[in-house]
Structures are given as structure tokens and as C-alpha cells.
Amino acid sequence: MRRQFVTLLGARGTAGLAQAAVLVLVARWMHVADYGALMGWAGALLVAATVADLGVSGYVLVQLPKGRLDTVRRALRLNTVTSLLGGVLFALLGVFLAPAGLAAAFAVLAVAAFLEKNTETLTYVRIAQGDKVIPAVSILLRRLLNLALTPLLYFVFGVPAALAYALGYAIACAIAQVHARRPVRRSIPAGELEGTWAVLRHSLRIMVELAAGGARTLDTAVVGFVAGGAAAGAYAAGTRLANPFVIVAGTLSNVLMPHVSLADHEASRRIARRLALATVVLGAVVIPVAWLISPLLPWLLGPGYEESQQVFAWALPAIFFVGMSTAFAGYLQALGRSGFVAVAAGVNAPVLLGAVALGASLGGAAGAALGLCASSALYVVVLGVRSLVATRAPETVSS
């Protein structure tokens, strides 16, 4: 487990830096309000793609280690169908919703988002099977190719910045899809399929948590609605640059879930205590680090993004809390407590977006980031306390 975690962490860390770099470039090339609109659409697509995932990405991490190939086969088929349908539907929707000049970028970005979500689910299969290499290569392919293709399309072929980013993203995800699908087909041979509802009645509870967590990415659209396009652009720039710091916790969740699903009571309790300790210690470190780094943002992003400095100062600890919430949620789901996680996540989503909206109305982009930080801190406390007192649900023995 340790080698897999370190390998995936290294790959995702590199990928996160590449993603931050390409978003900095796109932000510098675009008007602030247009960048805010593009990132707002990207956030909406993430929520939609997460719903289309049907909770399968988390479901396979729990079911595959138990050898339940019939349920995994059905889950993967459902995931592929909903990803295809979702990509087509939201590409058409993007054309109608996009501001002037961004229709093509919105459509292509929709295709890329659903393609990536399906690719990510395939890599989760390999993570559950203990593979270190294929998931790491997959995420590196997506992010490094996007970083290489976006400036190539922009400078060499004269493609507008938003469309260059969307096209680079889509091409990279298509290549990564081919790379990830072949080993999954080899490792899960054709065979019996579990009934659709037998899969959905478990996976949908995981989907609720993932979708509610993904609702956080609607924050940019909320800021734009409450405080205007310029505030949304500044907010998006600050929060997107903080996003790579969620990688540690996200990777930890992916690696832990298969192990917690098979661990005995004492082993799982030790994992919960270590997660809680890590949250407290790292949380105490990340806040001063955020305020030390934030003065660099106006220089990095260029004119028009001055408010992103204060946004980043609050967004970095917020993103850390979001990441640790993911780790605690994965821990509870692996214990069979996905019902509690679904309810908690469903409550947290409107609380978080409400806090962002309130902060934006009172303090613009920086106030929105403060609202994000406060609500994320509250959520991680709720999940952390529940994890420390949780026991394995009886349903996990027979489900």
C-alpha cells in the first residue's frame, strides 16, 4: 500500500502542478470575466460528470478487492453508457449556454470532462487491483499532454485560448482513455453480470457523496451570479491554483478504501486516528503557508487578478479541508457507512454554496473564499468525529 500511495502521490503531484501551470497560462490569455465563465462551466461539468459516474469509481474500490467481478462488470458498463450520453447532452447544452465567442470551447470541454471521468473510473479499477504504474501514467498523460497541447494550439495554430485549452484537454483524455481501457479489459475477463439495481442501490449512495462534494465546483458560478464576472474570474484563479494541494488526501482516500474494506476493527480504528492526527497537524501548517505564498499570485496571473491574492490565502486551507473530507468519507464508505456519508454530503453542499454566496455578497471574491474555508472546516470536523467512533456496518458482510 505504501509504494502505491507514494507512486500515485508523485504522479498526481506532478499532474497537479501541470494543471496549475496550464490554468495560469489560460488566465493570462483571457479576459478575467471570460475566464470566470469558463471555469464556472468547468465546475458545472464536474458535478454533471460525477452524477454520470453513478458512484462507480468508489464502488469498485470496495467491491473489487472482495472478488465481486460480476458487480464490477455491470458497474463499468453502466458508467460507460452514462458517460457517453452525458458528454453528448452537455456538449449540446454548452453551445446554447456559452457567452459570445465561447460556444465551441464549452462544447469541447463537456466532451473532455465526461471522457476524463470515465477514464478515471477505469484507473480506479487498477488501483483496487494494486497497480501502481497504469493509474500514475494515466494522470500524467492527461495533464502533461494538456500542458503541451494548449500553448501549441494557441501560439502555433492560432486557436483562441479557451478553445485551445478545451481541445488540448479533450485530446489528452482520449489518449488516456485508450491507455487505461486495455489493461482493464485484460484483468476483468468477460463473464456474469450482476443485476443493474443490485449495483445501483449501493453505488448511488456513494454517488450522492461524490456529487455533493463536486457541487463545491459550482462556487465560481455562484460568485459570478452574486458578485459579477470579474469577481468570479479572480475567485476561480485563486481557487484553481489551490486545487493541486488536495492531491495528497485524494490519493490517500483511493488507496485506503480497498484496504479498509478488508481490515479488522482494530486496524481500521488505527487508520481513523492517523487520519485525524494528520488533519490537525497539516491543517495547522497549511494556513500560514497559504498567507506566505499568496502575495505571489498578482505577479503570476497578471493585471486584473489582484483580488486572487486574498482568495488563495483562504482557498488553500479550504481545499485541504475538502481533501481530508474525501479521505474520511472514503474511510466511512469502506466500513459500510455510505448512508451517513451521503446524508452529510447532501447537507454540506447547500451549506457550502450558501456560505460562498454570503461571503461573495459581503466581501466579493475574498469573502467567498472565506465562506468556502469556514464551511469546509465544519464538514471535515463532522466526518472526522464520525470516523473516530464508527464501527463496521453489518451490511458490508453480505453486500
One DSSP character per residue, 119-179 reads: HHHHHHHHHHTT-SHHHHHHHHHHHHHHHHHHHIIIIIS---HHHHHHHHHHHHHHHHHHH
Average pLDDT in the 304-328 region? 90
Integer CA distances (angstroms), 260 to 71, 185, 193, 253, in order: 19, 26, 25, 10
Q: Element (H or E) spanning 339, and its range?
A: helix 338-389
pLDDT tens column, 185-222: 988 988 888 888 888 888 888 887 778 777 778 999 99
Q: What is the pTM of this model?
A: 0.81
pLDDT tens column, 151-190: 999 999 999 999 999 999 999 999 999 999 999 998 898 8
- 92 secondary structure, DSSP code: H
Contact 66, 398 (CB under 8 A): no
Give the residue with greater pLDDT, 256 vs 136: 136
Q: Report the half-sphere exposure of 325 (CA within 13 A, side-chain side).
A: 27
Residue 193: helix, strand or coil by DSSP?
coil
pLDDT tens column, 3-54: 776 787 788 888 888 998 999 999 999 999 999 999 999 999 999 999 999 8
Share of the chain above pLDDT 90, in %: 54
Cβ-proximal residues to 55 (8 Å cutoff; 6+ apart), any chain: 202, 203, 204, 205, 206, 207, 208, 209, 210
Please name the amino acid found at residue 307. E
Q: What is the mean pLDDT of the chain?
A: 88
Decide if pLDDT at 87 tops 70: yes
d(CA 237, CA 232) in angstroms, rounded, equals 8
